Chains A and B, each alone.
Chain A
Amino acid sequence: MQFLVKRLIAGFLALLIVTMLVFGLSRIHGDPRTLLISEDATQEQYDELGRHLGLDQPLYRQYLLNLSHLIRADLGNSILQHRPVEEILLSRIPNSVFLATVAFLFATLIGIPLGVLAAVNRGRLWDHGIRAFAVLGQALPIFWVALVLIYIFAVGLSWVPASRNNGWSSVILPAITLGWFGASGQIRILRSSMLEVLDSEYVRLARAKGSTERSVIWKHALRNALVGPITFAGLTLASLITGSIVVETVFSWPGLGLLAVQSVTNSDYPILQGVILLVAIVYIVASLIVDVLYTIIDPRIRI
C-alpha cells in the first residue's frame, strides 16, 4: 500500500513537472502575443491581450493561471487552424485509439501462442525462430520496419494502401508494425515465465494425474504464466504510445502522434502542449495501473 501511495505521488509530481516544463518552454519560445495577434494590431489591442493572458503578472502567477486553464481543459487556440485545441485533439483521439487497439490485439494474438510455443519447444528450431523474431521486433527501428512493410506490401504487391486512414485495409500495416514491437516483449516475458511454470510442482501433478499434454500446457501452465505478460501489458501499452508517434508519422495516420509531429513542423505550440499533456496523463495512468495490477494479480510480488 505504501508503495502504491509513493507511486501515486510520483505520478502526480511527474504530471506537475510536465506542466511546468511545457509552460517554461512556451515562455522560452517567446512572447505568446507575437504568435496570437496579427501584425497590424494596435498597441491597445496588444496590451489588452497581454492583460487577458496575464502577462503583466509575475511568472509564478502566470504559471498558476496556465494551470487553472489546464484543469478546466481550456488549452487555448491553435495558431494555424484558429480552433480550440481541445476540439482538434478530440477529433484525433478516435484514430489513435483505433490503431492502438488493433495493434494491441494483434500483439496479444500472436504474442501469447508464440511465447507458449517457444517455451514448450525449448531449445528446438521453433524456439530459436521465435526468439529471433522477438529480438528483431525489439531491436529493429520501428520506422524502418514500417518502410520495409510499405515497400513490400503497398508498393510491391499493392495489397494495402500505404498511408492515411481509409478504414480497415489501411490499419493493417501500421498495426502489424506496432504489434510486432509489442508482441516481441510479450513473447520474451511469456516464454520465461512459461518455462518457470512448466517446471513447477502443480504442472507435474497435473501430468501425473493423467491430464492430456494440451490441457497441461494451455490450462494449467498458461493460466499461471500469464501473470508475467499481464503485468507488463500496461507498460506495453505505454510503449505503444511512444511507438505510435513514429508509426503514425510514417503512415500519415491522422492520430495524435502525427498531430504532434506536424505541430513541431508548423511551430504550433498550443497543439503540441495539448498532445504532450494528454499523452503524459495516459502514460502516467497506464504505469499506475500496471503497478496496481502488479500487486493485485500476484500478491507474492512486492517490489
Chain B
Amino acid sequence: MTYFEFESKTCDVNINSSVSRIRQVRRWPLFSIIVIAVLIIFAVFAPLIAPHDPKIGELEDRHVPPLFFGGTADHILGTDGLGRDIFSRVVYGSRVTVSIAALALGVGCVIGTLLGIVSGYYGGWVDEVIMRMVDIKFAVPLILIALALVVSLGSSLGLLLGLLVFMVWGHFSRQVRAEVLVIIKTDYVSAARLSGASPIRIMSHHILPGVISIMVVVGTLQVGAIVLAEASLSFLGAGVPPPTAAWGSMVSDGRLYIVTAWWVSLIPGLAIGMLVVSITLLGDWLRDRLDPQIRQVQ
C-alpha cells in the first residue's frame, strides 16, 4: 500500500483542530509548487531545453560524470552507458511522466466519479454491484497482473495506461459515493427532484458540483501513487517500452553500473523522488485547505 492509501484511510483520524495545524495550513507549499512548475515547463518545452538528443549518444562519451564530479558543462548531469546526455533524457522523461500521469488520472477520475455518483444516487443492487467491483479491485495485486500482461502481450504505452487507470478508479468511486450519500439527503436535491428534474440532470447539475472538491483531493493523493507505480513498472521492464526515456527505466538501465557510474541511475531516481515528495506535500496542504472530511463509508 502506498502512502496515499494510508492517507485516505486515516484522514478522519487526522482531523484534529490545533494551532500548529492552522499555522501549517496558511503556509504555501513553495517547494512543491516550484518542483511541479519546473517539471511542467520541462515537459512542454523539452526540445528547447534539452541540449542533446535523448535517444542518440556518442559512444566515446560513455559514463561522463556530472559537472561537479569531474564532468564538463556539455553534459551537466553526465551521460549513460550509451553516451546519451542524462539531463536531456530527464527533461524528455518528464514528458512521459506528465502525460501518463495526466491521462491515467483523467480517465480514472471520470470513470471512477461516474460510477461513484451512479452508485450513490441509485443505491440498491446497482450500488452493490459497483462497490463489490471496487472491493475486488482492491483485492487484486496490480503489480503481478501487470507482469503477467506484459509476458502475454508485450509492454506498450496503452497497456501501461490501462493498468494505471485500473489502479485509481476505485479510489474515486469509493470517496465520491460516500459524498453523494450525504448530498442526496440535502434539501436542494429533494427540491430539484420535486420540481421534476430528471435523474441525469440531478446528477450532473446538483450532485457533481458537490463532489468536485473531493475529486480534487483524491486526485492529488493519487497522482503520486500513479507516478510511483509507473516508475516501478518501468523499472521492472513492464512500463514504457525502450528507447523512450522514462525515469523508471533510466534507473533500471543504470543499476548495473552503480559501482562505476552512480549518476546514471541515481539522478533520474532523484527526479522521481522530488516529484512525488512535492505532490505529497501539495496534497496534504490541499486537503487541509479543502478539508472535505474524506469518509470511509461502505
Contact = CB atoms under 8 A, between A and B. Distances in A.
Interface of A: 3, 6-7, 9-11, 13-15, 17-18, 21-22, 25-26, 28-29, 122-123, 135-136, 138-144, 147-148, 150-151, 155, 184-185, 188-189, 192-193, 195-196, 199, 228, 232, 235-236, 238-239, 241-242, 245-246, 249-250, 260-261, 263-265, 267, 269, 272-273, 275-276, 279-280, 283-284, 287, 303
A275 B147 CA distance: 11
Nearest to B139: A14
Interface size class of B (residues with CB under 8 A): 35 or more
A239 B1 contact: yes
B232 A141 contact: yes
Interface of chain A, helix or strand or loop or mixed?
helix
Contact of A140 (B6, B139, B265, B277): B277
B235 interface: yes
Given A28-B152, A29-B151, A143 B232 contact: yes
Contacts of B255: 143, 147, 250
Interface in B262-290: 262, 265-266, 269-270, 272-273, 276-277, 279-281
A7 B231 CA distance: 31
B276 A265 contact: no
Given A141-B248, A142-B232, A275-B144, 19 more contacts: A10-B139, A136-B277, A139-B277, A139-B280, A140-B272, A140-B273, A140-B277, A141-B231, A143-B251, A144-B251, A148-B269, A188-B6, A192-B10, A192-B13, A195-B16, A228-B13, A263-B151, A265-B237, A279-B141
A190 B151 CA distance: 40
A195 B10 CA distance: 13
A21 B296 CA distance: 29
19 contacts: A6-B135, A22-B148, A135-B3, A135-B281, A138-B2, A138-B3, A139-B3, A139-B228, A141-B231, A141-B269, A141-B273, A143-B251, A155-B262, A189-B6, A239-B2, A261-B236, A276-B141, A276-B147, A303-B296
